[in-house]
Chains A and B, each alone.
Chain A
Amino acid sequence: MFRNTVRDLFADRCPPDAVRASWETTDARVPDLWGALAEIGVLAALAPEEAGGLGMDEVAFVRILEEVGYAAVPEPLMEHAFVAIPALAEARSDALDSAIAGSTTITIDIDGSGTVASAAIADAIVTRVDDGLAFTTQYDTTALTTIDQSRRLAAVKGGVTVGLDGADAVLAYDRAVLGAAAQCIGIARRLLDATVAYVGDRQQFGKPVGSYQAVKHHLADVRIAVEFAAPLVYRAAWSVAHPETHEPLARARDVSMAKAQASDAVDLAARKALQCHGAIGYTFEYDLQLWLKRAWALSAAYGDARRHRDRVATAIGLA
């Protein structure tokens, strides 16, 4: 399966050491990873086949984004492949070919806020302008220091902007929200796996700490949260992939349900993972922090749980 190929690629090219090393570089990138992702077709997965893409649907691609979260990949893969490329394809933009080939990296400013992940390393930004989308290049950036140093947020100013006529701005927003939710699920799974392994190994009072009920119940709660958030992500992916079946507001409702639950799940996973690791988890040297910080960032990015519950409230007539 494609998902397994991607998982293996990340395990090989993007282990925790590579994530950590990327923080020490100016561009926060993992050497050769982007090219490898282009080569196996991940970057082009959602582009239509006639444009040289794989024509994959969102239901399959959210599983890949789970792997991105699971490996804490420090690249704007979701922004580029899951949001920018479909928008460029909708607008039949000239920029599509180079984005598919991976010779460019494109990030997104989905609400037009001017604060953009990976802006300095990207070649262009798909930007929300009024009710539509635009393609911005040659902009200036001022770096913002973020707790998750993979994020590379920057304040963006100026640049050359070309309208992306035909691209659906609300759909792009929903894709970004769904993409973040899928990564949250992957991050939560990794935090849980890492913590289960740690508490099974770590001994106190002559027994593994994972044999104590208080620790078990923390981790059971995380397992439950992930179990019931993931299907909402898959359902939302299905809603995005099948616009023909929509009632009004159904896609917004499904996508926001997914992000609300996925954000809550990854927040819980991060809290419990840190607690169950104890002091070692609180150190910069131990790898858990890579996922903790990714969890904090993506739980709030593209709307936190509360904001998405507000959106669901509107969709179900409770506003």
Chain B
Amino acid sequence: MDLELSQRQVEFRDEIRTWLTEHHPGRIASMDTPDGFEAHREWEKVLFDAGWSVPAWPVAYGGRDCDLIEWLIYEEEYWLSGVPGRVSANGVSLLAPTIFNFGSRQQQDHFLPKMASGEHIWAQGWSEPEAGSDLAGIKTKAIRDGDDFVLNGQKTWCSRGAYADWIFCIVRTDPDAERHRGLTYLLVPADSPGLERRPINRLDGEPSFAELFFDDCRVSADHVLGEEGQGWGVAMAAAGSERGLSLRSPGRFMAAAERLTELARSIRADGSIDVRLRDEVVDAWIRAQAYRWQTYQLAAGLMGGAEIGSEASLGKVFWSELDVELHATALRLLGDRAEIVDDNDWLDGYLFALSGPIYAGTNEIQRNIIAERVLGLPRRG
């Protein structure tokens, strides 16, 4: 495997690096506040206008047709530059691959450009009070009535759900079918009559996610993604994306690891570092590099025609636990100042990182998948 950047890749890296330096908007409010959400939406538009919001997409939908390696380079530069995070991430990472795979031409033409520009910010409506890691237990009903489906039920832990414009849901269109059968992937306008959204405050007190209550909520049948009744298969294509590299590229962890080493250097006036803490810092830094090179190896394989299946679970456990460790190490470096919330990005980051081993299928579920589908151990007897 050739591990050095080609001349073209170097030029690509320099182009995005320069652009990010020139267009850095500075610090903006959290995307989970009303003002911050809109500020992040504006940042999406700035990226879109320059062709940098979805570089891996086809040019026709606002992208640059980047290959996987270029996309990884883009992500490294993006996170290293310290520009704001992506309020569009749920849509771009989790829904867009499904629209590309399963959407009709009309759906693609309608939804993808608006997603790329930030006009539509998407939230995920999968989990229910009784269906978390066990997603096949979904109960929210959607019954066909003329050209519409009529929805009744409840979704929860809907990330970005408090302010999003659209929600991509999995609903039960055949109430007599059980488990993985009779489910349908449905795109729901967030302002639909009969849909009530109640924000749930996260650990940090911000309404990052929401509960959704459907009470005879009508949604056009035009918004079914893929075939009616085939929602499980359609959704699982995106679950691979969620666990895999499209949601959490190595760039963000490499950037965090760089900031961690800077923190370690700055924490004592003379630049010295406690030996045990230094060991932890270096370990986290190395693991960010390990994720990077594993991902490049994976990307080279994918570009060579390989497919990623259950192996995505290996990465999900690794990056989510690395993220917790990176931030926990920073808080240990800060010592008794770690509890101070003001201007403490590490504490914010730590709280966010703690959700990683829980969302997108808990790490316990991922370890079961690794054991059964990667290692081939017997399923529960």
A residues sitting closer than 8 Å to B (CB atoms) are 59, 192, 196, 199-200, 206-208, 210-211, 213, 215-217, 219-221, 223-224, 227-232, 234-235, 238, 242, 245, 257, 260-261, 306, 309-310, 312-313, 316-318
Q: In the complex, which residues of chain B have a beta carbon less than 8 angstroms from the beta carbon of A213?
A: 364, 368, 380
Q: In the complex, which residues of chain A have a beta carbon less than 8 angstroms from the beta carbon of B283?
A: 260, 309
Query: Judging by beta carbons under 8 Å apart, are B290 and A316 in contact?
Result: no
A and B contact pairs by CB, cutoff 8 A, 21 listed: A192-B375, A211-B380, A213-B364, A219-B377, A220-B317, A223-B370, A228-B287, A228-B318, A231-B293, A234-B293, A238-B3, A257-B289, A260-B283, A261-B287, A261-B290, A309-B282, A312-B286, A316-B285, A317-B261, A318-B265, A318-B282
Residue pairs across A and B with CB atoms within 8 Å: the count is 122
* 4 A-B pairs with the lowest CB-CB distances in the bound complex, closest first: A216-B371, A231-B293, A220-B367, A220-B370
> Chain A nearest CB: distance from B257 CB in Å?
9
Query: Judging by beta carbons under 8 Å apart, are B290 and A232 in contact?
Result: yes
Q: In the complex, which residues of chain B have a beta carbon less than 8 angstroms from the beta carbon of A306?
A: 279
Q: In the complex, which residues of chain A have a beta carbon less than 8 angstroms from the beta carbon of B377?
A: 196, 199-200, 208, 210-211, 215-216, 219
Query: Judging by beta carbons under 8 Å apart, are A242 and B4 in contact?
Result: yes
Q: In the complex, which residues of chain B have a beta carbon less than 8 angstroms from the beta carbon of A245?
A: 4
Query: Judging by beta carbons under 8 Å apart, are B278 and A232 in contact?
Result: no
Q: In the complex, which residues of chain A have a beta carbon less than 8 angstroms from the beta carbon of B4?
A: 238, 242, 245
Q: In the complex, which residues of chain A have a beta carbon less than 8 angstroms from the beta carbon of B285?
A: 312, 316
Total interface residues on B, CB under 8 Å, equals: 41
Query: Judging by beta carbons under 8 Å apart, are A217 and B375 in contact?
Result: no
Q: A216-B367, A220-B375, A227-B318 are in contact. List 17 more A-B contacts (CB 8 A).
A: A192-B375, A208-B381, A210-B377, A211-B378, A211-B381, A219-B377, A223-B375, A224-B317, A224-B318, A228-B291, A238-B4, A242-B4, A257-B286, A257-B289, A310-B282, A313-B282, A318-B261
> Chain A nearest CB: distance from B313 CB in Å?
8
Q: In the complex, which residues of chain A have a beta carbon less than 8 angstroms from the beta carbon of B279?
A: 306, 309-310, 313
Residue among B273, B366, B375 making CB contact with A219, cutoff 8 Å: B375
Q: In the complex, which residues of chain B have a beta carbon less than 8 angstroms from the beta carbon of A227?
A: 294, 311, 314, 318
Residue in B closest to A205 when the chains form the complex, CB atoms = B381
Complex: how many Å from CA A261 to CA B378? Answer: 29
Complex: how many Å from CA A59 to CA B376? Answer: 29
Q: In the complex, which residues of chain A have a beta carbon less than 8 angstroms from the beta carbon of B294?
A: 227-228, 230-231
Q: In the complex, which residues of chain B have a beta carbon less than 8 angstroms from the beta carbon of A220?
A: 317, 366-368, 370-371, 374-375
Most B-side CB within 10 Å, residue of A210, A224, A229, A234: A224
Q: Check if B372 is an interface residue, CB within 8 A of chain A.
A: yes
Complex: how many Å from CA A219 to CA B314? Answer: 12
Q: Check if B379 is an interface residue, CB within 8 A of chain A.
A: yes
Q: Which secondary structure dominates chain A's binding surface?
A: helix
Residue among B281, B286, B367 making CB contact with A260, cutoff 8 Å: B286
Complex: how many Å from CA A245 to CA B5? Answer: 11
B residues sitting closer than 8 Å to A (CB atoms) are 1, 3-4, 261, 264-265, 273, 278-279, 281-283, 285-287, 289-291, 293-294, 296-297, 311, 314, 317-318, 364, 366-368, 370-372, 374-381
Query: Judging by beta carbons under 8 Å apart, are B314 and A224 in contact?
Result: yes
Query: Judging by beta carbons under 8 Å apart, are B3 and A235 in contact?
Result: yes
> Chain A nearest CB: distance from B368 CB in Å?
6
Query: Judging by beta carbons under 8 Å apart, are A232 and B289 in contact?
Result: yes
Complex: how many Å from CA A215 to CA B372? Answer: 11
> Chain A nearest CB: distance from B222 CB in Å?
42
> Chain B nearest CB: distance from A313 CB in Å?
5
Tell me whether A217 and B371 are in contact in the complex, defined as CB-CB below 8 angstroms, given that A200-B377, A227-B294, A232-B293 are known contacts: yes
Residue in B closest to A193 when the chains form the complex, CB atoms = B375
Query: Judging by beta carbons under 8 Å apart, are A231 and B376 in contact?
Result: no
Tell me whether A217 and B286 are in contact in the complex, defined as CB-CB below 8 angstroms, given that A211-B379, A313-B278 are known contacts: no
Query: Judging by beta carbons under 8 Å apart, are A309 and B290 in contact?
Result: no
> Chain B nearest CB: distance from A182 CB in Å?
15
> Chain B nearest CB: distance from A76 CB in Å?
28
Complex: how many Å from CA A230 to CA B293? Answer: 9
Residue in B closest to A236 when the chains form the complex, CB atoms = B293
Complex: how many Å from CA A224 to CA B315? Answer: 8
